[in-house]
Structure 1
Amino acid sequence: MPQKKKTAAKGLEASLWDAATTLRSTMEPGEYKHIVLGLIFLKYVSDVFAVRHEELQRLVNDSQSDYFMPSPEAKQSVVEDRDEYTAQGVFWIPEGHRWEELRRQAKAKDKPIGVRINEAMAAIERENESLKGVLPKNYARQEVTSEMLGGLVDIFSREDLAAAEHVDLDVLGRVYEYFLGNFASGEGKRGGQYYTPRSVVALMVEMLEPYHGRVYDPACGSGGMFVQADKFVRAHGGTRNDISVFGQESVATTWRLAKMNLALRGIDANLGNEWGDSFHNDKHPDLRADFVIANPPFNDDDWRGERLRKDARWQYGTPPVGNANFAWMQHMLHHLSPVGTMATVLSNISLSSKQGGEGEIRKTLLEADLVECIVALPPQLFFGTPIPSCLWFLTKDKTGRKSRKRKGEVLFIDARRLGQMVSRRVKEFSKEDVALIADTYHAWRGTRDSEYADVPGFCAMASLTEIESRGHVLTPGRYVGSEEVEQDDEPVADKIARLTLEIRGGFKARAELQDEIVSGLDSLVVTE
């Protein structure tokens, strides 16, 4: 039964996507994305408001309720009391700007629907401090036609979506995430700048296990890391109040997407008062997080590192101006608590490069015994980039935690053979893949009942002495070796004789087939 529910939900998301894309016309996907996602957000906050509105209406109509009032006017004042909504974490939606009102007026001639939506977005921002400067207000542009907007309003007002919301209001959060992923896929490399594929995020979260504490992402994109962390906590019996979320994003439009994405999920996140560059405008200078999780830009050569040569964050070596990989890593370590653990996606060049002092930084990190695990990822996981990538897990507490102490050791996992193609260009991990990698990591750490054992071709533990002997290169393939193959007991002479017969038989069959084809051609009669 749960599988059927999942299939139905995915079918709804795909159906909504297909309907929405037919209205895009010639608009660029990157532009259309903000139009569509803004409307999904508006629909969601209006629907949550409507649920609370109906709840208050029932209360004031109940003569036994504390809300019972002597007059209809008094009752209505309770239903429209702003505090009755905000106290429950519900955004206040001013009258005249709610979804149903917009839907009824979508085709009215007195005012274009784009103007009405802009006014609704502006009104919601005025009434809700946390949304100021977040919502898109570009619906009245010439290229955003009334037909397009009216069609989108109709799509997001569909009865099947309303029925799904009646069962689970979070369905619009899933729709938002589904649309985000599809837009990112369509934008290729640009999409990868604001969206990390869900299966990669799921793997990182399952390995980190952020049950409670402060979670930080200095390159948070559209907020997917936080959404997955929230899912993890709730799946293990916790509540979203068990974690505190801190993030930062340098691109204004992406920062707004993240704010909406997290608001849809009911996640109270501190993403700073506005967007900003984590290197040059750190929004959380005093933060020391229990978990750091990030997918920063690969091999960024435009991070203006020449301005930060003497920065206090570079405790393990000054990163090169031409590549920000080890700048990101040290920025994360700077914000990591003394008992914290971090995970980051980096390009594979970080595992072996010696340019610009990167080899020395890697050596220093290893000698400080901060590196815990390296996972080699398969190709085609990320949108629009063929760059091979890996996961780094680092911790400042290898010897102090309750799990098995792994002082002076590093776990290597080669996951390049895992994952399945879900389109012609994109691969993703299955749940079984995620479980295999995460369980291996936790068994090695001693946080699982199962015992860890090296598996040739997949995982291996190496000491810092062995890593030093390999020049402090951390490419997993160098440590896990080759996959074991089944023993072949057939004598070599017998194998040669058997294969010779098979090959000769193939040649004979091909010759016979060729003779048949030639004979058939000769028998053809051409008539004038």
Structure 2
Amino acid sequence: MANGNNTADIGFEQQIWAAADILRGNMDAAEYKHVVLGLIFLKYISDKFEERYQELLADDDDVEDKDAYTEANIFYVPPIARWSVIAEWAHKTGKITDENGKEEFFDIGGIIDRAMRAIEKENKRLKDVLPKNYARSELDKRRLGNVVDLFTNIQMIEHGTDKDILGRTYEYCLAKFAEQEGKRAGEFYTPSCVVRTLVEVLKPFKGRVYDPCCGSGGMFVQSADFVSHHAGNINNLSIFGQDANPTTRKMALMNLAIRGIEADLGGYNADTFHNDLHPTLKADFILANPPFNLSDWNDGSLNDDPRWKYGLPPSGNANFAWLQHMIYHLSPNGKIGMVLANGSLSSQSGGEGDIRRKIVEDDLVEGIVAMPTQLFYTTQIPVSLWFINRNKKQKGKTLFVDARKMGTMVNRRLREMTTEDIAKIAATFEAFDNGTLEDVKGYCAAVTTADIAKQDYILTPGRYVGIEEQEDDGEPFDEKMARLTSELSEMFKRSHELEDEIRKRLGAIGYDI
């Protein structure tokens, strides 16, 4: 079983899915996903607020002093937005008189929307981020009230602040939603074990961290976790990112807000290629899991873009567009850790082979890791991790790691890299950087650029690490061959007997072969 700190099982996933299940009857998966995640955020910040509220009350401090919450990195939740009010209205309808004496009719959906607006008003970081569409008619209010009841019994803060609550919940739910959405569930959260592998190798202690397709913000959260777990200060990280999907971008902002991470995700959602929201950024660390094999990304308007230093990527596949975009945004000592489909390691079509050759010749590729299958919820495409470094310690060399046999199946369809697996890969890169790495057949090899050139600049790790050496079992070769050929002879004999038996049985019912 995979290490517990690493698993998508966050302790309350059954309740989360039960909440989604309550609404499943009359909503599409893509719709109720965001209903549930919005409630998770609201409940989580309410729990954190209540915890701080009780501390202030015990110390006889002003419980409505907003500064007392913000100084503890906790969002101030105004009275009308507190969970106790929402829980009270779970199955009620009625009129409420506002501060201007105006009466308005409310049900649970309207109460939640009112709470979201009030929280945004009191916390500028959340402006235009929270979902405010719970009052819409197609959302069954009886079912929504049942979801509120369920969440009332979940204490989010009991699950600890060291977890990427929103991201992990999104990750778990997406596995379930994908079963219903099928191929439409193409937008996915990068599994935390993949992100942790990137982070443990790159070690982003301080500087500018960038993700040009940031999804729900998992790369940033794991980077901040890495710093805090190594006694660093997350304020030493500056976070930059963007995402084309407006809902996913808001999810990232909520995710980061829960963790107290300040981030510049641009002022709106935007396509990274056509509207780069950070055009002058030079990042120290870039971590990304761009959409695999994205087609039709360039309508011709980007043909002369300065980002394509190593060649114009084919319009039918954006893999090398993503890679070159990130290289363009690297600082002089910057590093990249990114996920790419395995086709990018060997493809020669559309000029990709020439682009890859030029990047290798520029001595940018520090390492390639071939990952095991079944790591992702919504695709079985095999992937590799690319590590790019503008200032490699081992000049003229690239590390290849074959990690395809690593990982543990956590269920019938999903594999995870364990903490031990990730530590082994990180230690391998560290030894390579220090010049102390010894090649291990079937696992890792440090290879010169000249040797890569002999392989036509194909970067598939299996070509370089070779086949794992088999342990000598002590049986002399002649004796082993005699035994094996004898066993094979018996198998052939048994095979013929079975063939004859099958012919007889078929013949008995009138079928001769």
Q: How does 1:177-188 map to 2 (within 5 A)?
A: 177-185=167-175, 186-187=177-178
What is the DSSP-based 3-state SS (H/G/I as helix, E as strand, rest coil) of the residue aligned with 1:282? coil
Change in CA separation of 1:16 and 1:6 when aligned onto 2, cut-off 3 Å: farther
Report the TM-score when normalising by structure 2.
Answer: 0.87
Verify: 1:301 aligned to 2:285, yes or no: no
Verify: 1:154 aligned to 2:149, yes or no: yes
Verify: 1:12 aligned to 2:11, yes or no: yes
Shift of 1:94: 2.3
Residue 73 of structure 1 corresponds to which residue in structure 2? none
Residue 259 of structure 2 corresponds to which residue in structure 1? 265
Residue 433 of structure 1 corresponds to which residue in structure 2? 421
Verify: 1:176 aligned to 2:166, yes or no: yes
Verify: 1:139 aligned to 2:172, yes or no: no
Q: Deviations over 1:138-182 (max 9, x none)?
A: 212334222322222222221xx43x73x56527x5543332112
Take 2:308 and 2:249, find their aligned partners in 1: how far apart are those partners? 26
Change in CA separation of 1:509 and 1:390 when aligned onto 2, cut-off 3 Å: closer
The number of residues matched between the two structures is 482
- Asked if structure 2 preserves the Cα contact closer than 8 Å seen for 1:190 and 1:384, the reply is no
Residue 245 of structure 1 corresponds to which residue in structure 2? 239
- Asked if structure 1 preserves the Cα contact closer than 8 Å seen for 2:396 and 2:449, the reply is yes
The one-letter amino acid paired with 2:354 is E
Q: How does 1:301-380 map to 2 (within 5 A)?
A: 301-304=295-298, 306-380=300-374
Take 2:217 and 2:14, find their aligned partners in 1: how far apart are those partners? 24
Residue 400 of structure 2 corresponds to which residue in structure 1? 412
What is the DSSP-based 3-state SS (H/G/I as helix, E as strand, rest coil) of the residue aligned with 2:81? coil
- Asked if structure 2 preserves the Cα contact closer than 8 Å seen for 1:222 and 1:257, the reply is yes
Verify: 1:94 aligned to 2:94, yes or no: no
Q: Deviations over 1:424-456 (max 9, x none)?
A: 222221111111111111111119xxx311011
Shift of 1:117: 0.6
What is the DSSP-based 3-state SS (H/G/I as helix, E as strand, rest coil) of the residue aligned with 1:151? helix
Identity across matched positions, percent: 48
Shift of 1:288: 1.1
Q: Deviations over 1:99-144 (max 9, x none)?
A: 1111112122313101111111122223322212211112123342
Take 2:340 and 2:6, find their aligned partners in 1: how far apart are those partners? 33
Residue 510 of structure 2 corresponds to which residue in structure 1? none
Q: Deviations over 1:45-73 (max 9, x none)?
A: 222222333333344x3xxxxx6xxxxxx
The one-letter amino acid paired with 2:244 is S
Residue 64 of structure 1 corresponds to which residue in structure 2? none
Residue 29 of structure 1 corresponds to which residue in structure 2? 29
What is the DSSP-based 3-state SS (H/G/I as helix, E as strand, rest coil) of the residue aligned with 1:440? helix
Shift of 1:11: 7.0
Q: Deviations over 1:272-305 (max 9, x none)?
A: 1111111111111121111000000111112125
The one-letter amino acid paired with 2:87 is R
Take 1:461 and 1:264, find their aligned partners in 2: how far apart are those partners? 41
- Asked if structure 2 preserves the Cα contact closer than 8 Å seen for 1:191 and 1:383, the reply is no
The one-letter amino acid paired with 1:31 is E
Take 2:5 and 2:459, find their aligned partners in 1: how far apart are those partners? 39
Residue 442 of structure 1 corresponds to which residue in structure 2? 430
Structure with higher RCO (Cα < 8 A, 6+ apart): 2
What is the DSSP-based 3-state SS (H/G/I as helix, E as strand, rest coil) of the residue aligned with 1:315? coil
Take 1:10 and 1:348, find their aligned partners in 2: how far apart are those partners? 28
The one-letter amino acid paired with 2:18 is A
Residue 48 of structure 1 corresponds to which residue in structure 2? 48
Consecutive unaligned residues in structure 2, runs of 5 or more: 95-105, 502-513
Residue 115 of structure 1 corresponds to which residue in structure 2? 110
Take 1:295 and 1:508, find their aligned partners in 2: how far apart are those partners? 52
Q: Which moved more, 1:184-193 or 1:310-319?
A: 184-193
Shift of 1:258: 0.7
Change in CA separation of 1:87 and 1:319 when aligned onto 2, cut-off 3 Å: same
Q: What is the RMSD computed on CA atoms of the aligned residues? A: 2.8
What is the DSSP-based 3-state SS (H/G/I as helix, E as strand, rest coil) of the residue aligned with 1:391? strand
Consecutive unaligned residues in structure 1, runs of 5 or more: 62-66, 68-77, 399-404, 516-528
Q: Which moved more, 1:103-112 or 1:282-291?
A: 103-112
- Asked if structure 1 preserves the Cα contact closer than 8 Å seen for 2:216 and 2:251, the reply is yes
Verify: 1:480 aligned to 2:465, yes or no: yes
What is the DSSP-based 3-state SS (H/G/I as helix, E as strand, rest coil) of the residue aligned with 1:80? coil
- Asked if structure 1 preserves the Cα contact closer than 8 Å seen for 2:10 and 2:168, the reply is no
Shift of 1:364: 1.2
Report the TM-score when normalising by structure 1.
Answer: 0.84
Residue 455 of structure 2 corresponds to which residue in structure 1? 470
